[in-house]
Structure 1
């Protein structure tokens, strides 16, 4: 059944892949993005798609705009990906992150409550405390708001779940682990994979914070988008928190070596905000498989090859 879908943050890195998947599945999609993180060029290839109903350049902080969008259109699902996503920025300027990630989410929730629209809320693995179990981090793992970004996301998560409990609104909190792939920014705001590959292609050194032994569970973006979309389709995850990751972690030092293949091109630098560092992140996605039948399909090695080829071919920065 074709659905009407509002996608906030749809011009962002993960958002554009979610948009692509939704359009491929035959749904009508409205994208709302203020382009503070996203780029309109990310979604230009969809402009000739008849099911892309509108690109609305605007902010989730604009309540009158949201009111107009929700009253003018009838949505079945709101995939809420719009957010401030940079950990370091959140430490330097917590107000902006809190407003966008917590207050903005509240504004979305209020519209979805009034119009009975399911909410899929994009959270983050950065809400978790470090991994201490060999089986990886499950949804019951302790949280630790080590940055205002994580704190704002946990606050928003609780509001999202409260709307399920208090109003019976279908809502789900999803926590993808560190996502990478084509269309991720390669500059300071980008992810570690994109930055490392871009530096390699530019003949620059790869800088690692601290000793580089901190680990990340790296999820290829198309696997992530498939997870995001499936969480909207299924009522089995309503009222739930669900993780998604590769189920394999790698030390940042090892990742750099895997990408550049030369230890001499790797240098260690002092961490800007060491207090926000999570030493070990390893995802347990059993719940996603149990409830959604989702599991990752792209290995880290394959994902790195695809990402490098894309950055090289596109001249992306």
Structure 2
């Protein structure tokens, strides 16, 4: 197949590119490098299947017009603003990237008969109520402009399936971590904790640390996202992916630091947008794709720690 990955130089995007190349497809990557890094995809530059890296913006229709002349079979749309606090501070940027940018990509996919896999997020959900976890039928709650923009993008994507019959799927991975994730800012709590542990620094937790997360190793996430592109069974669907195990941030910090004295708590930067319990039920992904994660949390943390230790210049 011929595949475009928007956000292809980002953390998850580079793993999607890697998987597609390993599966023998021709791949183009588009990224404005506002969050992604060319270093993330440097290893693919000589790969015969890696056709082009385009530094460009999904809001720039001239860039999309040129790229889509390549007649893609599928577009993995990962390009987005992803930071919750940034969306609270500057909602316009998040809306323009995650809604208007998505609309521009959808129009190109419709014009060229290209399937779209839309990367959404578990942050669209309200908190889990029990240990059965969050299914795709769980209530959504736009607790931040980031979540609101992603829900808007989801609805636009699915409208193209219903209105035009355009192959489309919405994927909602839970908190993804692993090699190539940045160790600063928000969203990479495991990477941040590991970096601080290796530097001998204290680990800081927002709030009381009782909030839980379901952490998905990035290779499992990329496999899930790529498989959703290959299968027609998920067209018109919303599909979750997670480990199926949640852990409090307090317990996560202890797992990594291995010393309670190295853990401290600080005031939460956006308590109004916190989701206290996130636990994924990914039974739908197994039913439709026979997908399930391969990495336990402990195994994923070990691989991530090894990578951060060996690649200090890439974090």
Q: 1 CA distance for matches of 2:130 and 2:120?
A: 22
Q: 2 CA distance for matches of 1:66 and 1:15?
A: 18
Query: What CA deviation, in whole Å up to 9, does each residue of 1:84-133 have, x standing for no partner?
Result: 00001000000000000011000000000010100000000000000002
3-state SS, counterpart of residue 208 of structure 1: strand
Q: Counterpart in 2 of 1:52?
A: 50
Q: 1 CA distance for matches of 2:208 and 2:177?
A: 22
Q: Counterpart in 1 of 2:2?
A: 4
Q: CA deviation at 1:204?
A: 1.0
Please state if 1:199 is matched with 2:193.
no
Query: What CA deviation, in whole Å up to 9, does each residue of 1:273-306 have, x standing for no partner?
Result: 1001000000000000000110001000000000
Q: 2 CA distance for matches of 1:14 and 1:297?
A: 17
3-state SS, counterpart of residue 43 of structure 1: helix
Note the residue ranges of structure 1 that are not aligned, 5 or more in a row: none
Q: Counterpart in 2 of 1:40?
A: 38
Q: CA deviation at 1:189?
A: 4.0
Moved >3 Å (runs of 4+): none
The match for 1:30 among 28, 31, 35 is 28
Q: Counterpart in 1 of 2:103?
A: 106
Note the residue ranges of structure 2 that are not aligned, 5 or more in a row: none
| TM-score, normalised by the number of residues in structure 2 | 0.99
C-alpha contact (below 8 Å) 1:8/1:33 kept by paired residues: yes
Q: CA deviation at 1:214?
A: 0.1
3-state SS, counterpart of residue 205 of structure 2: strand
The match for 2:77 among 80, 89, 94 is 80
Q: Counterpart in 1 of 2:113?
A: 116
Q: 1 CA distance for matches of 2:195 and 2:131?
A: 32
Q: CA deviation at 1:237?
A: 0.2
**Matched residues, number:** 314
The match for 1:70 among 68, 71, 82 is 68
Structure 1, 189-198 or 49-58: larger mean CA deviation: 189-198
* RMSD over equivalenced CA pairs, Å: 0.6
| TM-score, normalised by the number of residues in structure 1 | 0.98
Q: CA deviation at 1:190?
A: 4.8
